[in-house]
């Protein structure tokens, strides 16, 4: 029996995920490939393949490759607003993925049910209290509560508020938390609040095993928290999910794209669905240019505000070991104060 106090706080999340540590490497499009996912899983954590807008046959091959690289559980993340979302649902169904994570928007109840019927455990993102309640009513096995501090597609509510609205109230299912998390000390306090586990993205994006271009990683290392800004929505006629990333020319270009699409909507030369598709294609293409090609000035640099806490490139195992050790250290410190 372990003497680590952290293990007591890890137990619920670890049992649910089937891993040693309930530390999740969030799904990052173009970054969360089989190598990174399997490395995190083999180091005792949990990671998710990023569906993004990956061609279905490639996603299927990535699932197979990940299974060859690790015998540990992992998840497949599907983006509900992605053009290939329907095809991705069929892929995870055929592949009998052990965990399915719905992100980017709201899955329909029948889609949650379909995923569960394959035997998969279903996790749903929630960026607001109402969304969390809806996903739970649909039958989600767990919730990933994500604050606006996170990178990529985000909501409008901070994690500190969501903790009080959702984490403190939900007891029936595990609640994992995400958004602005980078240190074990912070993880310790989230576990004490009742979190089943924590999700980090930005730290793993610059891990040694991450496929991201060196220029991409370097921009993260040099960035401050205030550099990670959320993209605006100019008009309710063109609903867009906010995206948080490092400020660069791509942020400005996105504003120009919205204005162009709004003009076309007024002229009737484009429909809302087609306009929203162009928005998603903008981010998907921009992210690929930045992550794969290193075009950090014109590509999309999706990053959470925790980027201000990332100051070096580390191997995945070292990141996880540090998080676990610092979580244990902080829990012991607090216990010493209370006792």
Residue keyed to tokens 């050790």:
325
Any idea where the domains of the chain sit in the sequence? 5-212+309-338, 224-291
pLDDT at res. 232: 81
Residues 338 and 333: their CA atoms lie apart, in Å, by 9
Could you say which residues of the chain have pLDDT below 70?
1-2
Distance CA 210, CA 269 (A): 41
Burial 157-179 (b: 16+ CB within 10 A, else e): bebeebbebbbeebeebbbbbbb
Sign of CA dihedral 157, 301, 319, 99: positive
Give the per-residue pLDDT at 1.
41
Q: Where are the alpha helices (DSSP H) in the chain?
A: 5-17, 34-42, 56-69, 85-95, 109-117, 129-138, 159-162, 184-193, 202-205, 214-222, 249-267, 272-291, 316-338
**Cα 84 to Cα 90: distance, rounded to the nearest angstrom:** 10
pLDDT at 2: 56
| CA neighbor of 332 nearest in space, from 192, 198, 193 | 192
Fold that domain 5-212+309-338 belongs to in CATH: TIM Barrel (3.20.20)
pLDDT tens digit sequence for 278-325: 887 888 788 899 999 999 999 999 999 999 999 999 999 999 999 999
Instruction: Look up tokens 């279903």; give the residue.
Output: 122
Model confidence over 217-262: pLDDT tens digits? 999 999 999 999 998 888 888 887 788 999 999 888 888 998 999 9
pLDDT for 333 equals 97
As given in the structure block, the two tokens for residue 99 are 């965990």
């Amino acid at each position: 029996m372990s003497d680590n106090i952290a293990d007591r706080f890890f137990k619920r999340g670890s049992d649910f995920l089937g891993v040693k540590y309930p530390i999740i490497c969030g799904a990052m499009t173009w970054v969360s490939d089989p190598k990174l996912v399997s490395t995190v899983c083999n180091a005792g954590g949990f990671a998710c393949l990023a569906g993004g807008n990956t061609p279905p046959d490639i996603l299927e091959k990535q699932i197979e490759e990940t299974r060859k690289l690790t015998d540990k559980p992992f998840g497949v993340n599907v983006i509900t607003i992605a053009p290939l979302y329907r095809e991705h649902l069929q892929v995870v169904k055929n592949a009998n993925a052990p965990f399915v994570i719905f992100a980017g928007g709201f899955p329909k109840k029948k889609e949650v049910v379909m995923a569960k019927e394959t035997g998969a455990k279903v996790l749903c993102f929630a960026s607001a209290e109402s969304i969390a309640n809806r996903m739970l009513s649909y039958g989600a096995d767990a919730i990933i509560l994500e604050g606006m501090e996170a990178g990529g597609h985000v909501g409008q509510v901070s994690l500190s508020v969501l903790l009080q609205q959702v984490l403190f109230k939900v007891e029936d299912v595990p609640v994992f938390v995400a958004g602005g998390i980078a240190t074990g000390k912070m993880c310790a306090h989230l576990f004490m609040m009742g979190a089943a586990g924590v999700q980090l993205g930005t730290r793993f994006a610059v891990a040694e095993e991450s496929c991201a271009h060196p220029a991409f990683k370097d921009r993260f290392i040099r960035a401050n928290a205030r550099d990670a800004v959320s993209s605006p929505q100019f008009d309710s006629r063109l609903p867009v999910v906010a995206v948080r990333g490092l400020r660069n020319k791509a942020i400005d270009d996105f504003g120009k794209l919205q204005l162009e699409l709004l003009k076309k909507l007024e002229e009737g030369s484009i429909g809302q669905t087609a306009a929203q598709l162009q928005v998603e294609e903008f981010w998907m293409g921009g992210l690929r240019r930045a992550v794969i090609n290193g075009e950090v000035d014109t590509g999309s640099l999706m990053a959470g505000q925790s980027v201000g806490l990332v100051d070096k490139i580390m191997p995945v195992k070292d990141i996880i070991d540090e998080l676990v050790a610092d979580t244990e250290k902080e829990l012991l410190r607090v216990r010493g104060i209370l006792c």
